[in-house]
Structure 1
Amino acid sequence: MLKKYFYFLLLILLGHLNLYSQVNEKAGPVLSGSAKALHSGPLADKELLPPGGKFKIYNPKNRSANRVVPGKGYPKTQDAAWQKEAGEIPSKKPELVFDAASSGSTPTDPTGAVGPNHYLNAWNSAFAIYDKQGNILSPPADLQTIGGTFEDEDLGDPIVFYDQFADRFIITQFSDSPNSLLVAVSQGPDPVNDGWYTYRFLTGTLPDYPKFFVWSDGYYVTTNQDPEEIRAIQDGEDGLSEVVYVLERDKMLQGEEAKHLGFPLPGITVNGFYSPAGFFAVGDELPPKGNAPIIYFQDDAWLGVTQDHLKMWEVNVDWENVDNSSISESQELGPEEGVSPFHSTFDGGSFENLSQPGDAPDVDALQGAVMYPTAYRRFPTHNSVVFNFVVDVDPSRVEHAGIRWYELRQDPQGGPWSVFQEGTYAPDYSDRWCGSIGIDKNGNIGLGFTVLNDNPENPIYPSLRYTGRYATDPPGIMTLKEESIAEGTSANPSNRYGDYSHMTIDPVDGETFWFIGEYFTPGARRNKVGVFKIAPEFDNDVGVVDITSPSNSTLGANEQITVTIRNFGRLPQSNFQVSYSVDGGQEVTQTFTGTIAPTSQTDFTFSTNVNLSEIGKDYTIVASTHLSSDENTENDIYEEIIKNLPPDDVGVTAIHSPETGERLGMEEVVITVENFGGEPQSNFPVSYKLDEGETVTETFTGTIGVQEQISYTFGRLVDLSAPKVYQLFATTNLPDDSNPENDSTEKTIANLNCIPEGSECFLGDGIRDFYLEDIGNENIFCTNGYNDFLSYSTLLDRSKGTFQVGVSTGFSGNQFSLWIDFNDNGAFEEEERLITSEVIPSAGTIHTFQFSIPEDAPLGEHILRVRAGDTSFAGDLNNPCDVMEYGTTHDYSVVVVSSIEDSVLGDAELIVSSMQGTVFEVNMTSSYQNPVWITVHDMLGRKLVENMIRKSLGSYSYTLDMSYVATGVYLVRVGTREEGRVQRIIVH
């Protein structure tokens, strides 16, 4: 009842917030003050303080989850602005790539700005200065080094920027002692050898997540102040707290006492963490003073928002009489103005969203923020601004992060803004977020971002890439192929990521983009700078950028070849030859007689067709241009492999639901079905089966296109109410399927009586590596103290009796305990504890312990639970449900079997391939020469097959016929009497 009462009060509060926003369309400043400059000498004359080495989590942000109304909001399915395919225009490799910060801070908050001769980089909570070749000029130093108001201050959230119109660098951070914005302005264009003016602008409340923007009459700052707004209303105050600050730019550039103002955002609706944005002026011409824009998005999934839209305000500052200053709502851009519906909230508003490879924690998608820096540029015919934020491209399926980006335009004399173009960049199944976008002097747009994919067959750790588009390209599309700046080699060990990236444009040419973001190598968070250019570099430059037809599908004997030709140069081009060849055969050459404008492209279809009718064959098509005056022949040739796919081939690639949990019941089964074949498919059977139970078959009635994936939810629920480990497998049953091997997948799920989440492990406590028989789990990431490793499985022969387990930790003195749930009740009783409080004496070393299982241990699959932690703090290690303050708990699967008997194999590798769904080809390569044994066990531990295999032609091969057994999951073991290799198979 108390919970319901609190929820009722919360609804009243949020309704009050929305009502208040509707009647306050204009407001004056709610904070005013001034700050005197402290003069600080050149960095070249200072003793640089090294960056703090202490591991810190910066900063406990004012982050309350965005509350969504269940079922409210559009789109319900796919984002209408979704760009599903990557651009085909070859983009230039980075002109320069170099590592900047390397830090243990979580997150690093990478920020960087380029000037005429320097690149200034800052992070939590230090900075460094480079020349424009990436050479260090001022090595990494704590922000305190700057001196003045920065002395003894290194809380973080830094932003650095270059004010092109004043030729100055600015370094900023925030402070909570007292709550302030700290700003350092270089006294000249050289950040190393010129001194600094430093300011402390008191803000009253913590200016969380501050972002700085250049405008004619001030430096504008936006912050996240949501908790303070709610408190203000609760306390009956008349005004909202300040969200936007304006600093007196002209005075700061002279080192004089400068005023600052704080404004609320009248009319805004927010339900948690949020970060609006000002406009950051770049280019050769400052905007007129006044009417400084502020922008934020409003999601109709939030309480009080009726439709998705962009909301804008204008700030007008009178520094002579600050009471005349004001902020007012200026525009709302919604569906009628060209804003497509978007879904900006992930996981109900929590901050653990995007899956990484392996068992690393889900990372923060940075929802609720207009990403930095919202670049504004003036052109002769219009003013433009570009910005971006993260969205879920299809809320009806597994969350998939994409980047919603905009270019708004305005008449050069001012007036209302309009949507010139929008797009949602998510060209494949990878997540893309943490974007930063810029626009060069030609109107070309560059977008840098982070990419991530948890696909175990093609994992992508957090990596930095970029794309872009030319001003003349079709609107709403990033047309350039992605290029890499940094490919991560390790996962993020925390859910905190970023919290931002930063794109700036070289003021010397107005065309070169400088992007910085965060990626990971083992044991380190790193910042990488990538420098690239989109603008043309040659007058005459054409090339083939795509083969648009045919595409991967079921092909015939008379296929038409269509290519896309790109003019990369500055001059129009016509009357040049174009060619293609297939598999190195005779070249077909024809003449392109049209005209292609600079930085534009067009399709060209050859009149000579080609035979591509061999099913299953990969055809290599090479197309090229032959312009006699071409100044850059590197992009003339394009090659693509076109697959003639068998017409019928579908399969289940993932089981998304149910998940391991506490006290499960009747649960939904949700799978992903993929069409691997060359023709669309519909009305085919899909099935699931739980353990040895009944096979549930339904009909997939939708249509799935060639090489598409679709989520399917079974109408019949699955009963997981009994506490135990389950094997759930799902399959398609398409008649005449050409490849049954990809039809099925399986998942291990457990119904547990407790999942002890909530322990801390970032200091190294808990289990880092774990070894038991065929299980080898290394470099285990710290999450929330619990990891589900039930998909890791091994056989335990109960006749063997004693087993050895290997464990390492990252903090010496941890203790270790182990259980096996022999009675399969989802709990771990005291009599099932096989190792109790064994000490792991040192960090980073594998320590081994022994345990025994009873000779009459129940056959079949059971849960093995292991725990390790620092027992000198809160939490009981030997209570399997207790949350330790410092430690981890992991669950694995073990299958108890009888009398395997083993011997040693060494480097053996086992591969089991499905031939027809019930027949399997078993192959093991090894330097071992003597005969080995193959055994097959069901998931109840019963042995079904045992045969000898002799080595032939360098390997052990065996055709395994399982047509006589029930549909389900089985364990195949090949080995000697002392050691073997184990693989799961699915029989269907």
Structure 2
Amino acid sequence: MNNKLFFLLLLFCFFKLNFYAQKDIARPVFRDSAQAFFSGPITESRLVPPKDEHKIYNPRNRGINKVVPGKGYPKGVDAALQSKKGEIPSRAPILNFDAVTTRSTPSDPTGVAGLNHYLNAWNSAFSIYDKEGNLLMPPVSLASIGGEFENETLGDPIVVYDQFADRYLVSQFSDTPESFLIAVSRGPDPVNDGWYTYRFSTNNVLPDYPKISVWSDGYYITTNKNSNTADESQVIYVMERDRMLQGETAQFVSFPLPGIETNGFYSPAGFNAMGSTMPPRGNAPIIYLQDDAWAGVPEDHLKIWLVNVDWENLENSTIEESQELGSASGVSPFTATFDGGAFSNLSQPGDTPEIDALQATMMYMTQYRRFADHNSVVMNFVVDVDPTLAEHAGIRWYELRQNSDGGKWSVYQEGTYAPDKSDRFSGSIGMDDQGNIGLGFTVLDDSPGNPIYPSIRYTGRYANDELGVMTLEEQSLVEGQSPNPSSRYGDYAHLTVDPADGITFWHNAEYFKGQDRINHIGVFRLASELIRDVGVTEIVSPNDATLGANEKITVKIRNFGVRAQSEIPVSYRLNGQTVTEVYPESIEGSSSVDFTFSKTADLSEVGRSYEIEVQTNLDGDQNTVNDTISRVVRNLPPRDVGVTAINAPITSENLGTNEEVSIIIENFGGETQSNIPVWYQIGNNNRVEETFPGTINVGENEVYNFQQTADLSVNGRYRLSSGTNLQEDFDPSNDVEEASIANLNCIPEGSDCDFGDGISYFQLGDILNERIPCNNGYGDFVSSSTNLDRSLQTFTVTLETYFQAEADEEKFSMWIDLDDNGEFDDDERLITSKALTQPNTSFAFDFSLPDNAPLGQHLLRIRAGDTRYDGDLNSPCDVMTYGTTHDYSVNITDSNLDIKDFILNDAELMVLDEYNGHYRVVLETSFAEPLRITVHNVLGQKMLENKVENTGDGYVYDLDMSYAARGVYLVRVGTRKVGKVKRFIVK
């Protein structure tokens, strides 16, 4: 090799090594110190009442995110999904009480148990209880702590208990100047021992969403800051724990997160040490999720950094990338992005916006505990269980293990807890000193038949249960009474383990009563103290299916006690007869076994439901409550399928000649079905008949997209029906589903309803729509219809609003599209600007139809809003600043026979097909303010929401659709009030 070539290779290797060193390791980006100020006991004379105001604290602002529509896995159901609830009976909560009522939005509930106290905080106040739930210090402002906290109420509080020092920490941040305020109790009594208070400068920035964790060499704070430059900006902060515990001047250092990818808002987490043994100093872990739906992330994984602080010479301190735990390490693909990164995601009952799912966040806390032969850490974040359908939130949780100090972390177990169709999110997880895991969370469901307002529940698992499963039955702490009046929820919950016994969980979260946010404390325990306690937790089989005369019955027997048990009598009861047998082998404490009776059961009558009751009868059992369970098993007819939903197309603007028709087929029968004949029909046209080629298991469903598309290019209303034609189908009544959709010339989305503007109740004939959600200001109710007999003189509509109008400016108008062209003309407006003068009050307005009103189905549009602001109520396409627009259908019969002007209106929106699924979206206009871009698919699912800025020649956005499925998409660029929409096709 010649010298020149050798030199070039050497130089290349040097730069390559230097590049990776810069990528993998970073030095501090900011250093400072803070002096302690002593504050004495919180006496009655120092108590400052909490502010009683409806205040939005620290609004969450998303920067330019990096979601790539269609990119990322999984493409279907989450592989780690736990699809049914645990069945191990759980005991009632030990304590269960409301801690505080507030209207702070959000309340930021946080709380910790110490040896003798429970400290609870929220925006921006706190209170103190004893361990029996008795109030020792009433709710007071955080300013009551004094010292650096005096007159400070900015909020985002976090409370922490340092178990190794028996001290409490309280934090909030300040903007006078920008800084963290930290109070450390001078002893174990937060009421009487006084506080050391610190003000740590954050270098003229206000880090959002701070979370504190305890490590042996410092108090670590993770933040949401500078999402586009998180790999080089101050994100992780460390405070000098040893000096703070002594009330001495303490140092403060901050680090970036080298190699991180973010999606706008983000929240990493530090490992919070708890238990009886501290971790070794140094190598403090920071962890964050990396979603492969984001640009720059090739695979879903967990990324771990290690921080080492040299308090003697801060310049020597480092943070370095340590591990990436991906598919090879046992991390299943996950979808941690909702609605393209938007903050409104989960539908709830009522009239309020969708709730923020708290995506892209390692939920508080990430709990670390040391055991004799390993170290464990547990954590959780929210995921979309099946991204092909409407958002369905579940909780992805992990236990990572480390076999020795300083060793690599590995995935010991993972799971996604979403056991039914309800949304579960805002989780907080912990592990007791026996290795049992407790998980608190919020549950929500907007189903008309089973609405669930935001409610607080918990589940858990024992240390030696089946891995990846929350095995305890779900237990309610409190069921919500009202919807969230805002999209902001939480912004977090807080579960901790009681240091007094190491096995009791304390969980703190929020629910709603009217406009009030209630912080609720639930205390529960998994570990048992009983010696002899055995019961049945599950009837494993048979299950609903086509059953026979000799079905085996298998049950799960659990030893709830602490000692092994054997020779356990177990019986089942069916059709009035009891069969008793004995399980002879030993079952260890907190363990389960499956047992199959030798005597089979006759379940052969087709269509019948059988109730099976199973019971244990251990001599001397100390808790008979969990001995017995029962379950109804159905003998299903072998062949029974039907269409349960029409997913696409949906009401939209500018539908075309090739709209995809998508349905859901469900197998109601007891045998697997394949090659199912299906059809769809538009109005009275000929049916389109095809065959679903796949296989559907018992009780499951599948999505089918017809090969032949539908022509919906003419504006107006369409009736779409779809069904199955399975031979020998048992129940034809469940075969067919119908939907009404419309091709409209405009859909005025983007109005604000946070103040209750718009229509909350609407009634016309057979149409009754109550507690109408606002969502984005537009409601598609085209499938709701009523008859109007044009021979009658007048008709009456009744409606309500939640808004307290001023000067009669909340008004209502209504149109019927009599010429069926998908537009609502002035001569089709039948009610004009009627005043709604009182909230929650029914107003009735009469209207008449023209004598020559065309018979048949027509679209009806209603609008209401505050007319003092932008948006013309009587211009049916204008987006109102405050208000709502809804579309319905009416069928006209005859019994006698059988935006305000806006600069964007002149702009042209172009979608340029560049290469291999990449597009350039261009909006040429002189408008200079930041705009919003959204991309939807034909199912109406939001694939992307982002911010776009004017480059000088207009707004340009490079759109990567190379991972998206082929089909039609809609892109919109504009403000919330007005914008341009364009259809484009991904080939």
When normalised by structure 1's length, the TM-score is 0.85
Query: 1:588 aligned to 579, 591, 609, which one?
Result: 579
Give the 3 Å change call, closer, same or farther, for CA 374–756 of structure 1 in structure 2: same
Task: Give the counterpart of 2:859 among 845, 859, 863.
Answer: 863
Equivalent residues of 2:351, 2:771 under 8 A apart: no
Correspondence 1:745 to 2:764:
no
User: Which is further off, 69-78 or 412-421?
Assistant: 69-78
* 2:208 is the alignment partner of 1:217: no
1:599 aligned onto 2:595: no
Alignment of 1:529-678 (within 5 A): 529-583=521-575, 585-665=576-656, 666-678=658-670
Paired residues of 2:350 and 2:771 also in contact (CA < 8 A):
no
Paired letter, 1:385:
V
Structure 1 stretches lacking a partner, 5+ long: 1-18, 231-238, 902-988
| Counterpart in the other structure of 1:873 | 869
SS of residue in 1 equivalent to 2:760:
strand
**Structure 1 residues 843 and 48 mapped into 2: Cα distance closer, same or farther (>3 Å)?**
farther
- 2:65 and 2:264 in contact (8 A); partners too: yes
Cα distance in 2, alignment partners of residues 493 and 749 from structure 1:
30
Distance of 2:729 and 2:78 partners within structure 1: 32
The residue aligned with 1:971 is none
Mark the CA change 1:255 to 1:628 in structure 2 (over 3 Å): closer, same or farther. Answer: same
Deviates more, 1:291-300 or 1:173-182: 173-182
1:442 to 409, 417, 434: 434
Q: Aligned runs of 1:160-309 on 2, under 5 Å?
A: 160-204=159-203, 205-227=205-227, 229=229, 240-309=232-301
Structure 2 residue 827 is matched with structure 1 residue 831: yes
Structure 1 Cα separation of the partners of residues 487 and 591 of structure 2: 42
Q: Report whether the alignment pairs 1:29 with 2:20.
A: no
The question of whether the paired residues in 2 share the 8 Å contact of 1:31 and 1:242 is answered with yes
- Residue type at the aligned position of 2:88: I
For residues 694 and 110 of structure 1, do their structure 2 counterparts lie closer, same or farther at Cα, with a shift above 3 Å needed?
Answer: farther
Secondary structure at 1:672 match in 2: strand
**Aligned residue for 1:727?**
719
CA drift of 1:103 comes to 3.1
- What SS class does the counterpart of residue 481 from structure 1 fall into? coil
Cα distance change of structure 1 residues 50 and 820 upon mapping to structure 2, 3 Å threshold: farther
Partner letter of residue 467 of structure 1? T
Aligned match of 1:147: 146
Give the drift of 1:491: 3.1
- Measured at CA, do residues 518 and 718 of structure 1 come closer, stay the same or move farther in structure 2, by a change above 3 Å? farther
| Separation in 1, partners of 2:78, 2:262 | 22
C-alpha distance after superposition, 1:229-283 (max 9, x if no partner): 17xxxxxxxx711110011222222333222111001121224221111000111
**Partners of 2:608 and 2:323 in 1: how far apart?**
56
> How many angstroms does 1:50 deviate by?
4.0
Residue equivalent to 2:904: none
Amino acid paired to 2:804? F
Question: In 1, Cα distance between the equivalents of 2:724 and 2:359?
Answer: 36
1:860 counterpart letter in structure 2: G
Supply the distance in 1 between the matched residues of 2:142 and 2:860 (Cα, whole angstroms): 48
Residue 811 of structure 1 aligns with which residue?
804
Match of 2:892 among 886, 890, 896: 896
Distance 1:516 1:727 in 2: 48
Query: How far has the Cα of 1:606 moved from its partner?
Result: 1.0
Partner of 1:117: 116
CA offset at residue 120 of structure 1? Answer: 2.2
For 1:113-146, what per-residue CA distance to the aligned partner results, in whole angstroms no more than 9, with x for missing partners?
1222332222233333333333333333333343
Structure 1 equivalent of residue 418 of structure 2: 426
Report the AA paired with residue 198 of structure 2: Y
d(CA) in 1 for partners of 2:889, 2:753: 23
Distance 1:171 1:749 in 2: 54
Determine if the alignment matches structure 1 residue 471 to structure 2 residue 470: no
Q: How far did residue 692 of structure 1 move?
A: 2.3
**Amino acid in structure 1 at the alignment position of 2:153:** D
Over 3 Å counting, the alpha-carbon distance change for 1:22 and 1:559 in structure 2 is farther
Bigger drift between 601-610 and 415-424 goes to: 415-424
Structure 1: how far apart are the matches of 2:223 and 2:703?
A: 39
Do residues 848 (structure 1) and 840 (structure 2) align?
A: no
Which moves more between the two structures, 660-669 or 48-57? 48-57
Query: Which of 294, 317, 323 lines up with 1:331 in the alignment?
Result: 323
Map 1:912-923 → 2, pairs under 5 A: none
> What corresponds to 1:499 in structure 2?
491
The superposition leaves residues 582-633 of structure 1 with CA deviations (integer Å, 9 ceiling, x where unpaired) of: 03x2211111111111111111111111111111111111111111121111
The SS at the match of 2:586 is: strand
Q: Does the C-alpha gap of structure 1 residues 423 and 687 become closer, same or farther in structure 2, counting only changes over 3 Å? A: same
CA distance in 2, matches of 1:862, 1:399: 31
1:501 positional shift: 1.3
Q: CA deviation at 1:357?
A: 4.1
The alignment partner of 1:569 has SS state of coil
Distance 1:728 1:676 in 2: 23
* Equivalence map 1:454-469=2 (5 Å): 454-469=446-461
Which stretches of structure 1, 4 residues or longer, exceed 6 Å deviation after superposition?
19-22
User: Alpha carbon RMSD of aligned pairs, Å?
Assistant: 2.3
Aligned to 1:158: 157
Q: Is the 8 A contact 2:606 2:637 kept in 1?
A: yes
Q: In structure 2, give the amino acid aligned to 1:885.
A: T
Moved more, 463-472 or 733-742: 733-742
Partner of 2:913: none
Distance between the aligned counterparts of 1:358 and 1:613, measured in 2?
45
The residue matched to 2:715 in structure 1 has which SS?
A: coil
Whole-angstrom CA distance in 1 between matches of 2:143 and 2:862: 44
Structure 2 partner of 1:413: 405
Structure 2: how far apart are the matches of 1:270 and 1:403? 20
CA distance in 2, matches of 1:65, 1:566: 51
Partner of 2:369: 377
Per-residue deviation, 1:22 = 8.0
Letter in 1 for 2:473: K
Q: Which moved more, 1:44-53 or 1:625-634?
A: 44-53
2:523 is aligned with 1:524: no
Q: Is the 8 A contact 2:283 2:406 kept in 1?
A: no
Q: Which residue of 1 aligns with 2:477?
A: 485
Distance in 2 (CA, whole Å) between partners of 1:307 and 1:49 is: 50
Deviation at 1:520, TM superposition (A): 3.1
The range that moved more, 851-860 or 46-55, is 46-55
Q: Which residue of 1 aligns with 2:903?
A: none
TM-fit CA distance, 1:24: 2.0
Paired residues, number: 874
Q: Which piece of structure 1 moves more, 856-865 or 261-270?
A: 856-865
Aligned mates of 1:359, 1:718 — CA distance in 2:
34
Mark the CA change 1:773 to 1:146 in structure 2 (over 3 Å): closer, same or farther: farther
Q: Please state whether the residue corresponding to 2:585 is helix, strand or coil.
A: strand
Partner of 1:780 in structure 2?
A: 772
Deviations 1:174-212 (A, max 9, x none): 233432222222233233333233222221322111111
Verify the 8 A CA contact 1:62 1:227 in the aligned structure 2.
no
Secondary structure of the corresponding residue to residue 573 of structure 1 = coil
2:418 and 2:637 map into 1 onto residues whose CA distance is: 28
Q: What CA deviation, in whole Å up to 9, does each residue of 1:902-929 have, x standing for no partner?
A: xxxxxxxxxxxxxxxxxxxxxxxxxxxx
Kindly tell me: are residues 681 and 627 of structure 1, through their superposed partners in 2, closer, same or farther at Cα, counting changes over 3 Å? same
Aligned residue for 1:594, secondary structure, equals coil
Whether the aligned pair in 1 keeps the contact of 2:291 and 2:336 (CA below 8 Å) is: yes
In the TM superposition, what are the counterparts of 1:50-65 in structure 2 within 5 Å? Answer: 50-64=49-63
2:136 alignment partner in structure 1: 137
Report how far residue 634 of structure 1 moved: 0.9
CA distance in 2, matches of 1:764, 1:154: 28
C-alpha deviation, 1:900, in angstroms:
8.8
